[in-house]
Amino acid sequence: MSKSTAEFVKWMGPLLDCLRDNGGSASPSQASDWIGDKLHIPEEKREESLRSGGKRFHNQVAWARQYLVWEGFIDDSKRGVWILTAAGAKATLSLDESSRLFKKWVQIHAQSRAASKDSKAGTPNTPTAKSKVVAEIEIAQLQTEEAIPPDDVVQSELLLVLQALTPEAFERLCKRLLHEWGFQDVEVTGKSHDGGVDGVGVLKLNPFVSFQVAFQCKRYKGSVSREQVASFRGSAKAGRADKLILLTTGYFSREAMKEAKGDGAVPVELVDGERLLALFQEKQIGLRRKEVFEVDHAFFDQFR
């Protein structure tokens, strides 16, 4: 692959295949896992972290999705679900075709920004020469693969806010989140320690059935390990909880996910950073809705 093409281009074609294989849609984490499994991506590559704490491989897949959104192959109207459009359902992309698609949209956005800068400066709109420079800068930025896709900027900002809270404040916020999602009698114990229970509550399914729930909150940037999941389960046994929930701003290692579903043990419901943000967004906790418009470049393709 040439130096002017970002690594995430490799995942564009497989991402379309993934969504087709899953009936036309998938969650972001499902898509990353599907591609990783299908293409036999080594575990160490899939678990490699960015400086921000997220997974580098998942961020690459998210960038692949962003370009497919711009091309009109993926619908971005529903948060937290990646959905194939009619055009995307018919599309297959080789690596060369993905590379051309990538360069096309880098150039389009570079020209748009260069034209906008010229317009604000009161100079004629002659972006072609400038756009080449801007495009090279954008490509160089993308090659660091630390950047966040544009559609994920709000989620990234929210995640940074959550990670900046004190552990005690994060526990109180999780209490609010659980309450908003229908849990009753939610209390933060205030006596937590590493591996211990941070709070309890009641999940009432109907007038006859309810569950005692214990939860733990981990304000992490990186991975929650298998040992930490097992430790939480062990601590919760003393409280005789029916259900266990582990919430984190980070993510769970694959071994941790296996441990959470271990045979003969109480399952632990895992809520990672991605899912946590979706829960905050759906209830609009700490968020204000803002309507914005963006240029639909795919629409204008028919006139070019």
User: Which pLDDT does position 117 carry in this prediction?
Assistant: 61
CB burial of 171-197 (b: ≥16 within 10 Å; e: otherwise) equals bebbbebbeeeebeebebeeebeebbb
With H, G, I as helix, E, B as strand and everything else as coil, classify residue 135. helix
Given a contact cutoff of 8 angstroms between Cβ atoms, the answer to whether 72 and 87 are in contact is yes
User: Which pLDDT does position 155 carry in this prediction?
Assistant: 75
CB burial of 113-141 (b: ≥16 within 10 Å; e: otherwise) equals bbbeeeeeeeeeeebeebbeebbeebbee
- The tokens describing 235, both together, are 């601590």
Given a contact cutoff of 8 angstroms between Cβ atoms, the answer to whether 205 and 193 are in contact is no
Q: Report DSSP letters for 226-295, one per residue.
A: HHHHHHHHHHHHTTT-SEEEEEESSEE-HHHHHHHT-TTS--EEEE-HHHHHHHHHHHTTT---------
Given a contact cutoff of 8 angstroms between Cβ atoms, the answer to whether 2 and 58 are in contact is no
- The tokens describing 39, both together, are 């293409």
Domains of the chain: 7-147 (no CATH), 160-283 (3.40.1350.10)
- The tokens describing 22, both together, are 């899953």
End-to-end CA distance of the chain: 28
Count of helix runs (H) and strand runs (E) in the chain: 13, 10
Find where tokens 């441990």 sit. 259
Instruction: Report helix angle 95-121 to 12-21, nearest 10.
Output: 110
Q: What is the pTM of this model?
A: 0.67
Backbone angles phi, psi at 245, to 5 degrees: -130, 130
CB burial of 205-242 (b: ≥16 within 10 Å; e: otherwise) equals eeeeeeeebbbbbbbbbbbbebebbbebbebbeeeebe
- The tokens describing 101, both together, are 């698609």
User: Which pLDDT does position 118 carry in this prediction?
Assistant: 59
Q: How far apart are CA 170 and CA 166, in angstroms?
A: 6
Ranges under pLDDT 70 in the chain: 1-5, 52-53, 115-148, 150-151, 153, 190-195, 238-239
User: Which pLDDT does position 216 carry in this prediction?
Assistant: 95
Please list the residues that pair with 270 across neighbouring strands: 246
